[in-house]
Structure 1
Amino acid sequence: MPRQLGTIAWLWGALCLLTAIKVSAQSAQAQPAPVTTMAYATVDEKTFYVHGGFGEKAAVPQFFSLDLTQESWNVSSPPWRQLNLPSNLGNTPSDHSMTVSPDGRTLTTWSSPTLIADYSIMDKKWTEVQLNLDLQGHPLIAADPTTGTVFILKVNYLVKYNAGDSGLSTEVIPPSTVNLQNIGSFVW
């Protein structure tokens, strides 16, 4: 009988250890690395997306979403969800922008010098957008959430892009209003 109790105690201890390992592995979820110059956007103020960025020494390949509809979460472990990165679309972007389509189904990343890519939220797939547009110099980019018109502010001109008809138009900014610095932000 004592030998059976020893075996049962050993099995119980092993089961508890395996359970503890499984629980800690499940709670250790992926989270975005701390970066600067990442692209980010929200869809209907319900989901926050973050893509790429520059870490301590290099660009960081990452793409995450965060469900903002949850009433609460542990602040040391927010419920980030890791999403797939584009495998065939070149380098890891930083100093880039992200816009949302009016229907909230597509995110578009705008990366220098010419890489533009759509991410289908429903299909979870990336597609390169063929557009003759120079994004050199990290322009400021924002989209009108109702029309989908994308505004691309360069140092001395503004480009308007309509994804619906792939139309591009350019407006020169008068020299008296041009500030040669190309830093800033859009708020819609």
Structure 2
Amino acid sequence: MRSFPTSSIRLLLITVATTVILSTPALAQTPVPVCCMATAISDGSYLYIQGGFTSVATLRTAVPQFFALDLLVETWSTSTPPWTWPPNVGGVTPPASNGHSMALSNDRGNLFIWDPFQPAAWWTYNIGARYWSSYSIPRNVTKQSGIRNGVDMNTGNVFIPGGADNGTQMIMNSPGSSEVPLTPMPTTLLPTPVVQASFVWSTYRNSFLHYGGQSIAGNIANPNLIEFIPTTGWQALATTGPSPGDVSAYSGTKMIVFGGAGLNGVTNADIHILDLPTREWTLGMSANATQARRNMACATSGDSFVAWGGESTLAIKDVTPIVYDMRNNQWTSQFRRNTTLPMPAEPSTPISTKVESRQY
């Protein structure tokens, strides 16, 4: 098991769908390249991205942008990704921020942002009604970058491990309730509070998986994969094979790990896959070293894994996504949801249509 867990962004592909209305894709509009953004994936259909750091001259500046990558478009080139910009018809948009996290509600109707650096730590975007709202959490929240939130897809409850009392307590909230009960983090499994760990819901195991990151105090790696079952609590989860560092997920039965950085700050370009039924890691094809990154947005849709943004050891990455064909174990410039179908004769472009009732 690698001793240097990474800090790349990770997301879980869920399999239930619902109907929402999004804006017409704005093909001429390009997002500002960022790292350290909040991201969420909706059933392999949209990768939502909010906030993050961008570079202005020699300085880093937080931005408030909110957009999505339409992963329902069957085929597109990485040079012309199908960006879309969800509208805001009322309310106040979240401020410019970074190091925060975002999760999708179990009914797929809302996005929840946890931002411990803002007075209103909790932000909600109603996807159908298309507006933002916020409220404060009356607790001693942990003001550290890389505190993650996740949604129990059975109950809809939101959990924030390490979210209070300098990483020693986990916050739980039922959306719509003012109650935010705390429970201690498992000190026997996690001897020291950590940040930059992954915390994702596994549809296969019906639990949260918590992996990687580093200690809040000091520069100590966390190599542990542990599991939180909301009805019973925390437990260790043993695996075999060479473990990488940070967790993303594919189809509920596999977790995909790409990039990230060790405690020495050097970014990686390798990709690993954990098969949950066997709990065995395998190594995929590494990306070109120029594509090494951490603190990125990533998602899976069909047979494709997509990463966007993030930062290398020296700079924030550009606006071009990179795509990994998981079925054929190769990096490619063409996103294809179904890689068993023939490749189009020419690279396709995003479909410019209004999304009136998109299954997602």
TM-score, length-normalised on structure 1?
0.75
C-alpha displacement of 1:166: 3.8
Give the whole-Å Cα distance in 1 for the aligned partners of 2:174 and 2:107. 14
The structure 1 residue matched to 2:71, chosen from 68, 77, 81, is: 68
Match of 1:111 in 2: 115
Is the counterpart of residue 151 in structure 1 residue 159 in structure 2? yes
Give the whole-Å Cα distance in 2 for the aligned partners of 1:40 and 1:174. 26
Q: Secondary structure at the match of 1:93?
A: coil
Deviates more, 1:134-143 or 1:98-107: 134-143
The correspondence of residues 104-183 of structure 1 with structure 2, limited to 5 A, is 104-113=108-117, 114-133=120-139, 134-138=141-145, 139-154=147-162, 155-173=167-185, 175-176=187-188, 177-183=190-196
Is the counterpart of residue 58 in structure 1 residue 66 in structure 2? no
Match of 2:43 in 1: 44
Q: Deviations over 1:162-188 (max 9, x none)?
A: 115443211123545332442311122
Q: Secondary structure at the match of 1:140?
A: coil
Structure 2, unaligned runs of 5 or more: 1-25, 202-360
Q: Secondary structure at the match of 1:131?
A: coil
C-alpha displacement of 1:89: 5.0
Conserved in 1, the CA contact under 8 Å of 2:91 and 2:131? Answer: no
Conserved in 2, the CA contact under 8 Å of 1:117 and 1:128? Answer: yes
Match of 2:233 in 1: none
Q: In 2 relative to 1, CA 115–89 (structure 1 residues): closer, same or farther, beyond 3 Å? A: farther
Alignment length (residue pairs): 162
Is the counterpart of residue 83 in structure 1 residue 86 in structure 2? yes
C-alpha displacement of 1:61: 2.1
Task: With a CA cutoff of 8 Å and minimum separation of 6, indicate the structure with the bigger relative contact order.
Answer: 2
Q: In 2 relative to 1, CA 126–55 (structure 1 residues): closer, same or farther, beyond 3 Å? A: same
Give the whole-Å Cα distance in 2 for the aligned partners of 1:76 and 1:44. 24
Give the whole-Å Cα distance in 2 for the aligned partners of 1:105 and 1:180. 32
In terms of fraction of residues, the more helix-rich structure is 1
Match of 2:101 in 1: 97
C-alpha displacement of 1:151: 1.2
Give the whole-Å Cα distance in 1 for the aligned partners of 2:142 and 2:114. 8
Give the whole-Å Cα distance in 1 for the aligned partners of 2:179 and 2:37. 27
What CA RMSD, in Å, does the superposition of the two structures yield over aligned residues? Answer: 2.4
Q: In 2 relative to 1, CA 46–175 (structure 1 residues): closer, same or farther, beyond 3 Å? A: closer
Give the whole-Å Cα distance in 2 for the aligned partners of 1:91 and 1:140. 18
Give the whole-Å Cα distance in 2 for the aligned partners of 1:118 and 1:54. 21
Conserved in 2, the CA contact under 8 Å of 1:106 and 1:119? Answer: yes
Conserved in 1, the CA contact under 8 Å of 2:50 and 2:65? Answer: yes
Structure 1, unaligned runs of 5 or more: 1-26
TM-score, length-normalised on structure 2?
0.41
Give the whole-Å Cα distance in 1 for the aligned partners of 2:142 and 2:28. 35
Instruction: Compare CA radii of gyration and give the structure with the larger one.
Output: 1
Give the whole-Å Cα distance in 2 for the aligned partners of 1:132 and 1:117. 14
Percentage of matched positions with identical amino acids: 30
Give the whole-Å Cα distance in 1 for the aligned partners of 2:186 and 2:47. 36
Question: Which amino acid is the alignment partner of residue 197 of structure 2?
Answer: G
Give the whole-Å Cα distance in 2 for the aligned partners of 1:161 and 1:124. 22
Give the whole-Å Cα distance in 2 for the aligned partners of 1:116 and 1:38. 16
